[in-house]
Structure 1
Amino acid sequence: MEFRQLQLFVAVAEELHFGRAAARVGMAQPPFSQQIRRLEAELGVELLARTSRRVALTPAGSRLLEDARVLLAKRADIITTVRQAARGETGTLRVGFAASSAFGVLPDIVLRFRTRFPEVKLEIDDSETMNVGGALVSGELDLAIIRAPFQHEGVTVERLLRERFVLGLPARHPRARRKVVSLSSLASEPFVLFPRHAAPGLHDTVTSMCLAAGFSPRVVQEANSWTSVIGMVEAGLGLTIAPASAQALRPKGVVFRALSGASGHAELELAFPSPQPSPAATHFRAIAHEAASRRQ
C-alpha cells in the first residue's frame, strides 16, 4: 500500500464518483480506477460498493477513510517538520556562555533569536566548570559565547564584539565626581575582579593594563559573576575594571567612568564546531553578529 494509493482512495471516497475523483487528482479515469482495484486486491477487501448509478463506501472503506486521512495528515506533518529542521527552524540549540559575558549583548541575541525562530528550543548553559572546547567538539554545545582569547582543536572562533573598559566605583567614592579617571591614579586602590580560572583572558588583560600603567592591582575580593562583582563594589569593598557593557546592570550605588591610559579592550568571541555549525546554529550566529554590530 502506497501513499499515492491512499490519496486516490480518499479522493473517490469523498467525491463518491470516479470521474470527479480522477479529475480532482489530475488523472484519467481508467488508470485511476485500476489503482483503486489494485488497493482493494492488496487489502483483500471491497472498499467501494459500485453500481451503474452510484458509488458508496463499504464498512471497510469507511474505516480506511478515517485512517487514511490521519496517516496522510501525519505524512504532511513529517515532511514539514523535516524540512523545517533542515532549515534550522525546529529542534534544540545548546549555547554556552562565560559568566563574564552574561550581560550586554547576550540578552539581545537571545530575544532576537526567540522572536525569529520560536520553534527552536534554546538551552543556555553557564556552567563555570564546563570544558567549553570539549563540549563543542563532543556535541554537548552547538555554540558558545566566550571571552577572548580562546583556542581549541576542532573549534572555529570568530570575534563577536570588541569593547572598551570602564571603571566601576561606589557612587560615594571621591573619584565618582570625575568624568574620566586615569588608570595610573588607581595604584593604591583595592579591586574586585573575576578570578583568573573563571575568565583568564579578561583577567590577564586587566592585569596587563594595570602593569602598563605602573602598578599591579591589589585584588581584595573575587567573584564569578558581574552581579556579584558590582554588588561588592556597591558595598564599598573596592573598585572594578569592567567591559563597557557592564553598565547595562545599572546598579543604584555604583557609577561607571571612562578610563584614560587603558590600552586594552574586552573581546567576546563566538565559538562553534568546525567545519561549520548546524542550520539552527548558523541562524544564531548571524543574529549574534547582527546584535553585536549595533554595539560597536
Structure 2
Amino acid sequence: MEFRQLQLFVAVAEELHFGRAASRIGMAQPPFSQQIRRLEAELGVTLLTRTSRRVALTAAGARLLEEARSLLARRVDVITSIQRAAHGETGTLRVGFAASSAFGVLPAIVSRYRERFPHVTLELDDRESLNVGAALVGGELDVAILRAPFRHPGVTTERLLSEPFALALPSAHPRAEQRAITLSTLANEPFVLFPRHSAPGLHDTVTSMCLAAGFSPRVVQEASSWPSVIGLVEAGMGLTLAPTSAQALKPRGVVFRPLRGAHGQAELTLAYPGPQPSPAAARFRALAHEAVARTRAH
C-alpha cells in the first residue's frame, strides 16, 4: 500500500464518482480505476461497491478513509518536521557558556533565539572553559560562548565581541570620585579575580595588563561568577578589572571607571565543533552577531 494509492482512494471516497475523482487527481479514469482495484487486491477487501448509478463505501472503505486521512496528514507533518529540523527550526540546541560571559549579550541572544525559534529546546550549560572544548568535540554541546583566547583541536572559533576593561571599585573607595584611573597606580591595591581554572582567558588577559603596567596583581580573593566578584568588590574586599558590559549588573555599592594606560580587550568568542556549525547552531550564531550589533548601536 502506497501513499499515492491512499491519495487516489481518498479522492474517490470523497467524490463517490470515479470520473470526478480521476479529474480531481489529474489522471485518466481507466488507470485511476486500476489503482483502486489493485489497492483492494493488496488489502484483500472490497472498499467500494459500484453500480451503474452509484458508488458507495463499504464498512472497510469507511474505516480506510478515516485512517488514510490520518496517515496522509501525518505524512505531511513528518516531512515538514524533517525539513524544519534540517533548517535548524526544531530539535534541541545545547549552548555552553563560561560564568565570565554570563552577562552582557548572552541574555539578549537567548531571549531573541527563544522568540525566533520557539520549537527548538534551548539547553544552557554553565561549565568551566577547560571542559567546553571536549564537550563540543564529544557532541555534548552544539555551540558555546566563551572568553577569549580559547583554542581546542577540532573546534572552530570566531570573535563575537571585543570591549575595553573598566575598573570596578567600591563607591566608598577614596578614588571612586576620579573620572578615570591609571592602571599603573593600582600596584598596591588588593584585587578580586576569577580563578584561572574557571576563566583562563580572562584571568590571563587581566594579569598581562597589570604586568604591562609594571606590577603583578595582588589577588586577595577569587570568585567564579561576576555577581560574586562584584559582590566582593562592593564588600570592600578589593578591586577588579571587568568588561565594560559588567555595568549591566548595576551594583549599588560599586562604581566603574575608565582605565588609562591599559592595553587589553575583553573578547567573547563563539565556538562550535568542526568547520561548520549545525543548522540550529548556525541560526544561533547569526542571532548572536545580530544581538551584538544591536548592543553596539544602542
Same fold at TM > 0.5: yes
**Do 2:96 and 2:124's aligned partners in 1 also have CA atoms closer than 8 Å?**
yes
**Do 2:209 and 2:262's aligned partners in 1 also have CA atoms closer than 8 Å?**
yes
Match of 1:85 in 2: 85
**Do 2:129 and 2:200's aligned partners in 1 also have CA atoms closer than 8 Å?**
no
TM-superposed deviation, 1:130: 6.4
Q: Secondary structure at the match of 1:35?
A: helix
Alignment of 1:253-264 (within 5 A): 253-264=253-264
Q: Which amino acid aligns with 2:186?
A: L
Percent identical pairs in the alignment equals: 76
Q: Secondary structure at the match of 2:284?
A: helix
**Do 1:10 and 1:65's aligned partners in 2 also have CA atoms closer than 8 Å?**
yes
Q: Which amino acid aligns with 2:135?
A: A
Match of 2:272 in 1: 272
- Alignment RMSD, CA only? 1.2
**Do 1:143 and 1:281's aligned partners in 2 also have CA atoms closer than 8 Å?**
yes
TM-superposed deviation, 1:129: 7.7
TM-superposed deviation, 1:295: 3.9
Q: Secondary structure at the match of 1:238?
A: coil
TM-superposed deviation, 1:20: 1.4
Alignment of 1:1-296 (within 5 A): 1-128=1-128, 131-296=131-296
Unaligned runs of 5+ in 2: none
How far does the alpha carbon of each residue in 1:142-189 deviate from its partner, in whole angstroms, 9 at most, with x for none? 111111111111111111111100011111112111221111121121
- Give the whole-Å Cα distance in 2 for the aligned partners of 1:130 and 1:60: 63
Segment drifting more, 155-164 vs 283-292: 283-292
Q: Which amino acid aligns with 1:100?
A: S
- Give the whole-Å Cα distance in 2 for the aligned partners of 1:248 and 1:97: 18
How far does the alpha carbon of each residue in 1:80-130 deviate from its partner, in whole angstroms, 9 at most, with x for none? 000101111111111101110000011111111112111111111002386
**Do 1:161 and 1:293's aligned partners in 2 also have CA atoms closer than 8 Å?**
no
**Do 2:191 and 2:220's aligned partners in 1 also have CA atoms closer than 8 Å?**
yes
Q: Which amino acid aligns with 1:42?
A: E
**Do 1:96 and 1:141's aligned partners in 2 also have CA atoms closer than 8 Å?**
yes
- Give the whole-Å Cα distance in 1 for the aligned partners of 2:295 and 2:212: 27
Q: Which amino acid aligns with 2:276?
A: Q
Q: Secondary structure at the match of 1:24?
A: helix
- Which TM-score applies when normalising by structure 2? 0.96
Segment drifting more, 283-292 vs 102-111: 283-292
- Give the whole-Å Cα distance in 2 for the aligned partners of 1:163 and 1:275: 26
- Give the whole-Å Cα distance in 1 for the aligned partners of 2:290 and 2:190: 38
Q: Secondary structure at the match of 2:216?
A: coil
Distance 1:130 1:19, change over 3 A: farther
Q: Secondary structure at the match of 1:257?
A: strand
Segment drifting more, 126-135 vs 220-229: 126-135
TM-superposed deviation, 1:293: 2.8
**Do 2:137 and 2:155's aligned partners in 1 also have CA atoms closer than 8 Å?**
yes
Unaligned runs of 5+ in 1: none
- Give the whole-Å Cα distance in 1 for the aligned partners of 2:264 and 2:129: 27
Q: Which amino acid aligns with 2:272?
A: F
- Give the whole-Å Cα distance in 2 for the aligned partners of 1:2 and 1:91: 29
- Give the whole-Å Cα distance in 2 for the aligned partners of 1:127 and 1:74: 40
- Give the whole-Å Cα distance in 1 for the aligned partners of 2:236 and 2:293: 35
Q: Secondary structure at the match of 1:255?
A: strand
Q: Which amino acid aligns with 1:192?
A: V
- Give the whole-Å Cα distance in 2 for the aligned partners of 1:43 and 1:10: 15
- Give the whole-Å Cα distance in 1 for the aligned partners of 2:70 and 2:286: 38
Q: Secondary structure at the match of 1:177?
A: coil
Q: Secondary structure at the match of 1:175?
A: coil
